[in-house]
Amino acid sequence: MTKSKLNTFRGGPDEAGRFGIFGGRFVAETLIPLILSLEEAYEAAKVDPEFEAELNHLQTHYTGRPSPLYFAERLTEHFGGSKIYFKRDELNHTGSHKINNCLGQILLAMRMGKTRIIAETGAGQHGVAVATVAARFGLPCVVYMGETDIERQKPNVFRMRLLGAEIVPVASGTGTLKDAMNEALRDWVAHVEDTFYIIGTVAGPHPYPAMVRDFQSVIGVETREQMMAAEGRLPDTLVACIGGGSNAMGLFHPFLDEKGIEIIGVEAGGKGVETGEHAASLTGGNPGVLHGNRTYLLQNDDGQITDAHSISAGLDYPGIGPEHAWLHNSGRVSYVSATDAEALDAFQLCTRLEGIIPALEPSHALAHVGKIAPEHDADHLIVMNMCGRGDKDVFAVAAHLGTDIEG
Amino acid sequence: MSSRIDLRFAETKAAGRAALVTFVTAGDPNLEDSLALIEALPGAGADLIEIGMPFTDPMADGPAIQASSLRALQAGQNMIKTLDMVRRFRENDSDTPIVLMGYYNPIYIYGNERFLENAKAAGVDGLIIVDLPPEEDSELCLPALRAGLNFIRLATPTTDAHRLEKVLTNTSGFVYYVSITGITGTAKPDPSAVSDRVSLIKAKTDLPVAVGFGVKTPDQARAIAAGGADGVVVGSAIVNLMLDHMDARGNAQKTMVPAIAGFVRSLADALTEKT
Ligand SMILES: Cc1ncc(COP(=O)(O)O)c(C=O)c1O
């Protein structure tokens, strides 16, 4: 793909599901027929006007799209310099961008005649979105969630249960997102006939990274139109946080070939990339193979996956979607990190100045916006993806702030 | 050129029985106990030995082998030590085929070329890499074949006739039929369904077919063999039995090797008796 379409960054993946050397289909044989039939079903749905119409209808009337592009006036004033816009996907039904992907995948699941839904979740935002669409379409749903995450995301656990999902706690490993994904894959292998696995980010075996990206690209497509309407031109800088990278890919992808636009992904720096306790796979990891694809991973020199650390459960993943790995190597997108402490500061700042309680995930993106906004003049337009709201995080934040006060 | 694996299956076939393939994880519960265990397997009746290369995220494995992998890693096992274990095993046994089984990442990070070279030199005969389907053959399968190692592929209940051709294309040594749709050591295989699939595979290849993933008892092993399998793989049941012979700190008690040897003997006997 990189060879045949040198003039575009939007041509991937190739037929083997590769973005350069990244991506692929590294799964057990049992799953191969499933992902091949998924690919076939997705390719057919993509060009089916009926599928598109159905998805559009749900996005408008169920999710509440388009989400606004909001000029964050007081933060702009506070940082001084660039004009800051938020793409407000936190206003979506269920409170984050995750619903964009879940609606697409559940429609596909039903087209394929699947009758049972499974998913992994970290922060619980994806789990809630999956449980929501499963409730909406009347399908039973099992969500795998690490024990550590269940503890720090209690409100979402309760929401999922209310929605009728069965939550399966995962104790293996560190009890976080990576372990939940292992367990979901094991479930899938054991229930191939009837089960559809709704992966929550742009990772996993082909076609997931491309499919999830496509379902999330509505973010960037809307941003483009809304920015043209608001400012009569395209933005100068795009910023988004990165766990697996789906909200970021959704915002970035429609802009990748706009040469003049600077694009920045913000990984979770945890206690600082230099401390080793972080979740910054690109900044602090190297290429390997996990969960069906080749990408950058946090791992030791024996190829064993190491634990990610982040205050934000949604970013606490030792990998990153393969297309980001490729965009990193090609230099098209810059990847930086923000620490737990920086994200907590940004969380509070945004709450007080804009009256918007952001999720801890986009608080990382905002922390970086705070670093770069003063470097430019008022004619520099930044769009940050406000991909989730912080209701789910208030207990965790209270605990962190409490500890700080006592310390 | 015939590999050790080819020779061994020819022998068991000539003897009119299925081969017993036993699985243990390298370095579980620690390097020395693990080596002692592996060295005892051929004498107890194991015809081929599968050695698991431990990985933090064994996606296709059930709780028993997951825990086994983690015990090994916690005891300090790594790829260098696993290959060295095989080399030490080979000092006293030049006939029993050794197949390394595991996941791709630890190999990829070790370096594919270096891995194949060192594995061959250590006396490894074949590889089973769970997350390298035919779609990814250029990664390791083709280089492994060039390096003179067998690359053993998994066929599963989801592998239909069309897919089977692709699965068989670059497979050598034997075909590993996964008897259940699921992870290791969980569901119980249905011998008659397995038998149908084994015949289907054998109609398409001259390679021996070994069956595994849910086989736990001598009776099951006998039933699978009676259904036409050329080999029966037992893993989780061995790993579970090891647990009963570990002290509180997770080290092997003196009873471990004899207990496992006794169990392996009962499996081998089940495959030898004619029913
Ligand atoms: C609000 C929010 N943002 C971001 C993420 C991280 O996922 P991704 O990088 O795929 O957008 C999550 C994941 O749970 C989330 O809930």
Same domain? A204 vs A234: no
Q: Are both A249 and A154 inside the same structural domain? A: no
Picking from A212, A235, A268, the residue at the C-terminal end of a domain is A212
C-alpha distance from B202 to closest chain A C-alpha (Å): 18
**pLDDT, tens digit, 9 for 90 and up, residues A321-361:** 999 999 999 999 999 999 999 999 999 999 999 999 999 99
CATH of the domain at A379: 3.40.50.1100
Contacts 24+ apart (CB under 8 A), B142-148: B142/B170, B143/B112, B143/B113, B143/B116, B144/B116, B145/B170, B145/B172, B147/B116, B147/B117, B147/B120, B148/B1, B148/B3, B148/B120
Give yes or no: residues A223 and A183 share one domain: no
Q: Whose CA is nearest to atom 12 of ligand 1?
A: A314
Ligand 1 centroid–CA A243 distance in Å is 6
Residues of A in Cβ contact (< 8 Å) with B167: 29
**Own/partner pairs for A83-86, CB < 8 Å, 24+ apart?**
A83/A378, A83/A379, A83/A380, A83/A381, A83/A382, A84/A369, A84/A373, A84/A382, A84/A384, A85/A227, A85/A230, A85/A235, A85/A381, A85/A382, A85/A383, A85/A384, A86/A354, A86/A356, A86/A383, A86/A384, A86/A385, A86/A386
Taking CA–CA distances from B110, the nearest residue in chain A reads A302
Residue A6's pLDDT band, with cuts at 50, 70 and 90, is low
pLDDT of A14 strictly over 70: yes
pLDDT at A107: 98
Say yes or no: A83 and A232 in one domain. Answer: yes
CA pair distance A267, A405, nearest whole angstrom: 27
- The pLDDT of A180-188, averaged and rounded, is 96
Task: Spot the catalytic one: B61, B125, B137, B230.
Answer: B61
Residues written for chain A: 407
* Mean pLDDT rounded to a whole number for chain B: 96
Pocket test for ligand 1, best of A121, A246, A386 (most atoms within 8 A of CB): A246
B138 in contact with A, Cβ within 8 Å:
no
Q: Tell if the CB–CB gap between B109 and A301 is shorter than 8 Å.
A: yes
pLDDT higher than 50, residue B118: yes
Structural domain includes residue A249: yes
- Quote the pLDDT of residue B190: 92
Looking from the CA of residue A126, the nearest atom of ligand 1 is 14
Residue A127 sits in the same domain as residue A254: no
Do A184 and A243 lie in one domain? The reply is: no
The response to whether residue A13 sits with its C-beta less than 6 Å from ligand 1 reads no
Name which of A98, A95, A75, A94 is nearest A86 in CA terms.
Answer: A75
**Which pTM was predicted?**
0.96
Query: What is the interface size between A and B, counted as CB pairs within 8 Å?
Result: 113
Q: What is the pLDDT of residue A152?
A: 78
pLDDT of residue A154: 85
pLDDT band at B2 (very low <50, low <70, confident <90, very high): confident
Give the distance (Å) from ligand 1 centre to CA of residue A148.
Answer: 17
- Among B77-86, B103-112, B180-189, B238-247, the minimum mean pLDDT is found in B180-189
Distance, CA of A232 to CA of A102 (rounded, Å): 32
To the nearest whole angstrom, how far is the Cα of B43 from the nearest Cα of chain A?
A: 32
- What's the pLDDT band for A5 if we cut at 50, 70, 90? low
Q: Which of A226, A165, A231, A200 is nearest to A313 (CA)?
A: A200
At which of A212, A241, A256 does a domain end? A212
State the pLDDT at residue B181.
Answer: 86
pLDDT tens figures, B43-73 = 999 999 999 999 999 999 998 999 999 999 9
In the prediction, which pLDDT does A395 show?
Answer: 85
Q: Are residues A284 and A189 in the same domain?
A: no
* Spatial separation of the C-alpha atoms in residues B163 and B144, rounded to whole Å: 22
Question: Looking at the structure, do residues A351 and A271 belong to the same domain, yes or no?
Answer: yes
Q: Could you tell me which chain A residue has the CA closest to the CA of B160?
A: A33
Q: Do B132 and A26 touch (CB under 8 A)?
A: yes
Of ligand 1's listed atoms, the one at least distance from the Cα of A250 is 11
In a domain, A30, yes or no: no
Within-domain flag for A171: yes
**Tokens describing residue A396:** 């965790």
Query: How far is CA A93 from its chain centroid?
Result: 16
Q: Which atom of ligand 1 is nearest to the CA of A246?
A: 10
Ligand 1 pocket test, pick from A92, A156, A315 with the greatest ligand atom count within 8 Å of Cβ, gives A315
Residues in B closer than 8 angstroms to A28, CB to CB, are 59-60, 130-131, 133, 154, 156
CB nearest to A189's CB, from B104, B153, B181: B181
User: What's the gap in Å between A63 CA and the centre of ligand 1?
Assistant: 17
Annotated catalytic, B139? no
Q: How far is B80 from chain A (nearest CA, A)?
A: 9
Closest CA to A236 of A213, A253, A217, A259: A259
Distance A88 CA to ligand 1 centre (A): 14
Asked whether residue A15 is domain-assigned, the answer is no
Angle at the Cα of A342 from the Cα atoms of A338 and A345, rounded to 5 degrees: 150
Q: Are residues A104 and A203 in the same domain?
A: yes
pLDDT value for A405? 36
**Side chain identity at residue A205, one-letter code:** P
Q: Is A173 in the pocket of ligand 1 (CB under 6 A)?
A: no
Q: Computed over its alpha carbons, how large is the radius of gyration of chain B? A: 17
Least Cα separation, residue B31 to chain A (angstroms) = 16
Three state DSSP letters for A207-241: CHHHHHHHHHCHHHHHHHHHHHHHHCCCCCEEEEE
Asked whether the predicted pLDDT for residue A305 surpasses 70, the reply is yes
CA A317 to ligand 1 centroid distance, Å: 10
B50 an active-site residue? yes
The domain in which residue A375 lies consists of 66-95+218-401
Q: Can you tell me whether residue A270 is helix, strand or coil?
A: coil
What ipTM was predicted for this assembly? 0.96
Residue A18 inside a domain? The answer is: no
Upper half-sphere CA count for residue B40 (Cβ side, 13 Å): 18
Strand order in the sheet with B48-52: B150-151, B126-129, B98-102, B48-52, B19-25, B231-234, B209-212, B175-178, B153-155
CA distance, residue B51 to nearest chain A CA (Å): 17
Return the bridge partners of B246, or none: B252
Give the mean model confidence (pLDDT) for residues A284-301.
97
Please give the tally of structural domains in chain A: 2
Residue A232: how many other CB atoms lie within 10 Å? 7
Query: Does A71 reside within a domain?
Result: yes
Residue A406 has pLDDT above 50, yes or no: no
The per-residue pLDDT for range A253-277, each reduced to its tens digit, is: 999 999 999 999 999 999 999 999 9
Contact A336, A266 (CB under 8 A): yes
What's the rounded mean pLDDT across residues B93-115?
98
DSSP, res A388? B
Looking at residue B29, its pLDDT comes to 97
Let me know whether A176 and A242 are in one domain: no
Local confidence band at B249 (pLDDT 50, 70, 90 cut-offs): confident
Annotated catalytic residue within B28, B33, B50, B230 = B50
Chain A residues in contact with B101 (beta carbon < 8 A): none
Residue type, B138: S
Is A209 a pocket residue for ligand 1 (Cβ < 6 Å)? Answer: no
- Say whether pLDDT at B175 is over 90: yes
A115 lies in some domain = yes
Q: Do B133 and A189 touch (CB under 8 A)?
A: no
**Domain annotation covers residue A19:** no
Q: Is residue A200 located within the same domain as residue A250?
A: no
Find the A308 Cα to ligand 1 centroid distance in Å: 15
B194-215: per-residue pLDDT in tens?
Answer: 999 999 999 999 999 999 988 9
Specify the pLDDT at position B85. 98
Residues A345 and A324 in one domain: yes
- Average pLDDT of chain A, as a whole number: 95
Return the higher-pLDDT residue of A172 and A150. Answer: A150
Q: Span A25-37, mean pLDDT? A: 95
Q: Walk me through the domains of chain B, giving residue ranges and CATH numbers.
A: 4-272 (3.20.20.70)
Percent of chain A exceeding pLDDT 90 equals 90
The confidence score (pLDDT) of residue A403 equals 58
The residue out of A167, A197, A212 marking a domain boundary is A212
Tokens at A281, concatenated: 């796979």
